[in-house]
Chains A and B, each alone.
Chain A
């Protein structure tokens, strides 16, 4: 019974998903929105309930399969917030979808449950199964608008590359099991040093990193990101950009620091290299983009790089910075995708030209997009600035030990400067773009989306101005991971 209480949050999300799936059979299409709001409200309740958990250290359930600590809770709350926004976005744009709204809601909820299980995975078997739950659900969610060719193409690409990465992941797990004879994180952490030096274990861990790198969209596992981001429905893309990426990071941090600490020194250069390459690739490829979703795809790769710098420092400060960065990134990306979803609905396109005159057609959308872009560019006082500041500060501190971090710092700063160009290109298109022949009537934003956009903007500002509350939570989370 205690086991079920410990995984109550995931259980509640799963039950909500099943209830939505069933209720959808009986209700009329007009009541679909109510169903969506009901699901969002339930997630809100679950979010509040997460504060009732006060893990004293790490608590285990299901024979050590499942771990609940502050670190897991931080990410669970993160995923729940992301889930609420994504559902709100999907309800707000529902009439443009091609039916199956109830199924979309329940599939999103199942993906959310999968991500929350990722946050608590303490066994490679659970890690694999929960990651697969997330990935398989996203195959469907990406191809949801199946009459749009772009959506189908994105789904096929995601399916093939996702299957390849899953193959690497499961092969890596097999190698780790072959070298150590266990899948359990605690047993792996307490292995004798001789086993830890096994090259087969390292190879398995490397393959594991490939699987997680795919989720994080870090170079060289990034090839799917721009196409899938562009083709998928906006609410799916937002969930993919935020939830899927965070699922990769939560597992990376846990494996790196809690499970196989031997990797910390082994992977230092790997992590630094991947971080630098991700920033360089994402930033350089984003310059010529004209499609906003594609631009955010490349920006997501660059952001994976900044997050990996925080992880690579192997310090509590770096991990805290990464956790804060993710929170800021969450609201920023959600604000951007709410705007993109509305613009897509009205113009059918998401290129820069369709943004022209947006500040006259809907000042709210223009403000939301500007907020998101300014935050992504890292301009104070918004959340994006403080995230980058914390990451770079941690890298500077780590540079005392490994001079390589100074190079990484250089790449990161140059990346920020270059990214100013294309983020402000978006802002320029919104305020100073010359509208073509398109109808320039005002855009009416539905109230759920208005609420979501206002909330996201307030959160971006609040996180940037008063970062202490989140950094305190992040520090607590990192401490429970055993990092000093």
Chain B
């Protein structure tokens, strides 16, 4: 049963992710954003299957909710028109396809050779309490560096988007 849902959500994630960047039916940025929402929701489904319930909820609330609303606001405020249809270079398409095939072959070979599921079961059952404890004990340093990273992102966005002083 779990396997069925896994494949379902995984396929939905891949399909929607593909439609975000290359939708053959629509060039409208809003459609892309909507498919991004679907991608995020399918990912949340995968988190649920991993028993990471808190992460799944946060994923939906923060990304599918808050972040995507912001995305849509920006898209609509900028009044983006449907993008022009680009002609793809054959060579670039072939190169991209080749890269995907090679990576898929590598992954297939790796999974075939060594059995999955040898690793220890996860330490956390996904409750906010356990997660918070891990973040503030074992992963304290990366967690604090992330706050610097967010500061950098904030400063960067303001710098790159502010109006000229003069």
Q: Which residues of A contact B (CB under 8 A)?
A: 7, 14, 21, 61-63, 65-66, 99-100, 103, 106-107, 110, 113-114, 117, 123, 125-126, 128-130, 132-133, 136-137, 139-140, 143-144, 146, 177-181, 195, 197-203, 206
Contact A140 B152, beta carbon cutoff 8 Å: yes
- What 6 A-B pairs come out closest when comparing CB atoms? A140-B156, A181-B119, A199-B110, A199-B113, A181-B120, A129-B142
Contact A140 B148, beta carbon cutoff 8 Å: no
Chain A residues within 8 Å of B119, by CB = 177-181
Contact A200 B142, beta carbon cutoff 8 Å: no
Contact A65 B114, beta carbon cutoff 8 Å: no
Complex Cα distance A146/B160, Å? 7
Q: Can you name 23 A-B pairs with beta carbons within 8 Å? A: A14-B148, A21-B155, A61-B141, A62-B141, A63-B138, A65-B141, A65-B142, A106-B155, A110-B152, A114-B145, A123-B142, A125-B142, A129-B149, A130-B145, A133-B145, A133-B148, A177-B119, A179-B119, A181-B120, A198-B114, A199-B113, A199-B114, A200-B114
Chain B residues within 8 Å of A100, by CB = 159
Contact B160 A202, beta carbon cutoff 8 Å: no
Contact A179 B118, beta carbon cutoff 8 Å: yes
Chain A residues within 8 Å of B118, by CB = 179, 195, 198
> Is B146 part of the binding interface, using a Cβ–Cβ cutoff of 8 Å?
yes
> Is B111 part of the binding interface, using a Cβ–Cβ cutoff of 8 Å?
yes
Kindly report which residue of chain B lies nearest to residue A124, judged by CB atoms.
B142
Among B116, B148, B155, B159, point to the contact of A113 (Cβ < 8 A): B148
Chain B residues within 8 Å of A133, by CB = 145, 148-149, 152
Nearest-neighbour CB distance to chain B for A211, whole angstroms, equals 14
Q: Mark B134-150, 1 if CB is under 8 A from A, else 0.
A: 00011111100110110
Chain A residues within 8 Å of B156, by CB = 107, 136-137, 139-140
Contact B111 A200, beta carbon cutoff 8 Å: yes
Complex Cα distance A65/B151, Å? 22
Chain A residues within 8 Å of B107, by CB = 203
Chain A residues within 8 Å of B159, by CB = 100, 103, 140, 144, 146
Complex Cα distance A133/B164, Å? 27
Nearest-neighbour CB distance to chain B for A61, whole angstroms, equals 8
Among A136, A201, A203, point to the contact of B153 (Cβ < 8 A): A136
Chain A residues within 8 Å of B116, by CB = 178, 200
> Is B165 part of the binding interface, using a Cβ–Cβ cutoff of 8 Å?
yes
Kindly report which residue of chain B lies nearest to residue A144, judged by CB atoms.
B159
> Is B106 part of the binding interface, using a Cβ–Cβ cutoff of 8 Å?
yes
Chain B residues within 8 Å of A106, by CB = 155
Using known A-B contacts A99-B165, A130-B145, determine if residue A136 contacts B152 with beta carbons closer than 8 Å: yes
Contact A107 B109, beta carbon cutoff 8 Å: no
Complex Cα distance A135/B74, Å? 25
Chain B residues within 8 Å of A99, by CB = 164-165
Nearest-neighbour CB distance to chain B for A388, whole angstroms, equals 33
Query: Which parts of B111-128 form the interface with A (CB within 8 Å)?
Result: 111, 113-114, 116, 118-120
Using known A-B contacts A133-B145, A197-B114, determine if residue A125 contacts B152 with beta carbons closer than 8 Å: no
Chain A residues within 8 Å of B139, by CB = 65, 125
Interface contacts beyond A62-B141, A117-B145: sample of 12 additional A-B pairs, CB < 8 Å, sorted by A: A14-B148, A65-B142, A107-B156, A113-B148, A114-B145, A132-B149, A146-B159, A178-B119, A179-B114, A195-B118, A199-B111, A206-B106
Among A129, A181, A195, A206, point to the contact of B146 (Cβ < 8 A): A129
